Structure 1
């Protein structure tokens, strides 16, 4: 049996077109600006990083079977609330979520095409799904 390969140049050319279209959208430019603004705002990035550190510390504690104290939980909730009060962080999180959803849609579209052996219809794509086939543990509800 000989090895069969697909022509990836065709796919790469289409991906280049898709990404060019994405870069030209006004919505992309606005979301990119939100991310850049966050990245250049030292106070916001520090606040966000501290929250992520606390989040990981609490996850680690829980994974070790240790119980979180009421004070730890309240402190965590307050820090989370403070993230959304910060306009720069809130916009960053929004842009990050939008890009993540777009990435998931592209991945899901590709996966469904192979799964169905045809181009999927919009109704066959899960809203908010990750397109991974259900094995990623993302909570996408598959």
Structure 2
């Protein structure tokens, strides 16, 4: 006999959880920040340009190459410019918050299965990605 989890009940509870999320004012604010970014062509181009520089530096690192001082200065200036752009800054914050929420839900589920009980707060990993936008994807 094959035993299966009642996925209908799980889906129902997930709908409740997601409904709670959608009703939070902070969710709407962060969602609006992401949408505003996606609609702002200049900001998207600036972000994409920075991510291209970021990937190029990562590739250099993979090849054990050192970037020149000029390359590093250009990268650092592009990174600083991201945070000076309010649209991008709010987008990065919202993206980080959503990633942290996703990680929390995933970790909670993983630990529940692993421990065979609900995890305590102290058992959940702390912190976020802190990547400064290099986690990828910007939803456009």
Mapped partners of 1:129, 1:77: distance in 2:
22
Per the alignment, in what secondary structure is the counterpart of residue 3 of structure 1?
A: coil
Q: Does the CA contact (< 8 Å) of 2:112 and 2:118 recur in 1?
A: yes
Higher RCO structure (Cα 8 Å, ≥6 apart): 2
Instruction: Tell me, yes or no, if structure 1 residue 123 matches structure 2 residue 122.
Output: yes
Paired position in structure 1 for 2:10: 11
Paired position in structure 1 for 2:104: 105
Unmatched runs of 5 consecutive residues or more in structure 2: 130-134, 136-140
Mapped partners of 1:129, 1:62: distance in 2:
24
Q: State the Cα distance separating 1:79 from its structure 2 match.
A: 0.4
Mapped partners of 1:109, 1:36: distance in 2:
28
Q: Does the CA contact (< 8 Å) of 1:108 and 1:129 recur in 2?
A: no
Structure 1 stretches of 4+ with a deviation exceeding 6 A read: none
Q: TM-score, normalised by structure 2?
A: 0.88
Q: State the Cα distance separating 1:65 from its structure 2 match.
A: 2.0
Q: State the Cα distance separating 1:129 from its structure 2 match.
A: 6.7
Paired position in structure 1 for 2:138: none
Q: Does the CA contact (< 8 Å) of 1:34 and 1:92 recur in 2?
A: yes
Mapped partners of 2:72, 2:2: distance in 1:
56
Unmatched runs of 5 consecutive residues or more in structure 1: 131-137
Q: Compute the RMSD of aligned alpha carbons.
A: 1.5
**Residue correspondences, number:** 130
Q: Does the CA contact (< 8 Å) of 1:105 and 1:129 recur in 2?
A: no
